[in-house]
Amino acid sequence: MKLGKNVVLYKNAKIGTNQLIEDFVILGKPPRGFEDGQLPLVIGDSPVIRSGTIIYAGNVIGDKFQTGDNARIRENNKIGDEVSVGAGSIVETGCDIRNRVKIHSNCFVCEYTLIEENAWIGPNVTMTNVLHPPCPAFKSHAPVQGAKCCHGPIIKKNAVVGAGAVILPGIVIGENAVVGAGAVVTDEVVRGCVVTGDPARVVKKVEDLDCPLGFYEKGEVYSWRKS
């Protein structure tokens, strides 16, 4: 275990082998209404937790987890293997983030977001979960994933969400779909489609993407993701 300086480890943080935990990290912080040690934090083997990261108690996180500096992960999330949450990004509560998801820097992942395997979320992406915030019904009703009023977006397998995009509540981004940088996504994105703009509209199919530098043949740009 490599442990940085001034690390704050709360009780009941269970961390696997081969950890790198950098300076000023906080692990297992009790959320509002809980005492130190009441909720467990479980992190698998070989995590790399970079400086200033804050991970609350009540999370179950798989192997090879990585964070960027100052990432913040609130309570009650389920996070798979080989996931990374980038510098300055926030994951709120109740999210389901599956294997090999990469969330880049300064993102906001709202409560009850579902992000499926291999999805890639660019820097500064914002997810939302309430159509008319701050709706009192948000707190008084059980969350309904994928429902347009309440709550979190669903980002399906292999989807790519470009930098600075904003995803409206309950929106489904289909499998292998691509959301262009800066897009504001107000409607479902069908699998394999590319959307851009505000509001986001389909501009092409993923199979029609072209690589200007010739690393990939036309139609093969994301072919490596489908295996």
Name all contacts of 107-113 with Cβ < 8 Å and 24+ positions apart. 110/151, 110/152, 110/153, 111/143, 111/151, 111/152, 112/143, 112/145, 112/151, 112/152, 113/152, 113/153, 113/154, 113/155
Whole-number CA gyration radius for the chain: 18
> Which residues, at least 6 apart from 106, have a Cβ–Cβ distance to it below 8 Å?
86, 87, 88, 89, 123, 124
Residues of span 145-164 touching a second copy by CB under 8 A = 147-150, 160, 162-164
**Is residue 199 a contact point for a second copy (CB under 8 A)?**
yes
**Is residue 223 a contact point for a second copy (CB under 8 A)?**
no
Residue from 124, 156, 172, 175 that binds a second copy (CB under 8 A)?
124
In the complex, minimum distance from the CB of residue 161 to a second copy, in angstroms, rounded to a whole number = 9
- Pick 163 or 189: Cβ nearer a second copy: 163
Residue 143 contacts residue 124 (beta carbons within 8 Å): no
**Is residue 72 a contact point for a second copy (CB under 8 A)?**
yes
**Is residue 197 a contact point for a second copy (CB under 8 A)?**
yes
Residue from 1, 33, 136, 142 that binds a second copy (CB under 8 A)?
136
Residue from 3, 35, 132, 208 that binds a second copy (CB under 8 A)?
132
Alpha helices per DSSP H over the chain: 137-140
The interface region with a second copy, picked from 19-27, 39-47, 57-65, 75-83 by CB under 8 A, is 19-27
In the complex, minimum distance from the CB of residue 16 to a second copy, in angstroms, rounded to a whole number = 19
**Is residue 6 a contact point for a second copy (CB under 8 A)?**
yes
**Is residue 215 a contact point for a second copy (CB under 8 A)?**
yes
Q: Work out the number of other CB atoms within 10 angstroms of the CB of residue 73.
A: 26
Residue from 19, 51, 67, 77 that binds a second copy (CB under 8 A)?
51
User: Following DSSP, what letter does each residue of 39-72 receive, concatenated?
Assistant: S-EEE-SS-EE-TT-EEETT-EE-SS-EE-TT-E
β pairing state of 193-196 and 201-205: antiparallel
The interface region with a second copy, picked from 11-19, 38-46, 57-65, 132-140 by CB under 8 A, is 132-140
Q: Is 132 a catalytic residue?
A: yes
Residues of span 173-192 touching a second copy by CB under 8 A = 178, 181-184
Active-site residues: which are they?
132
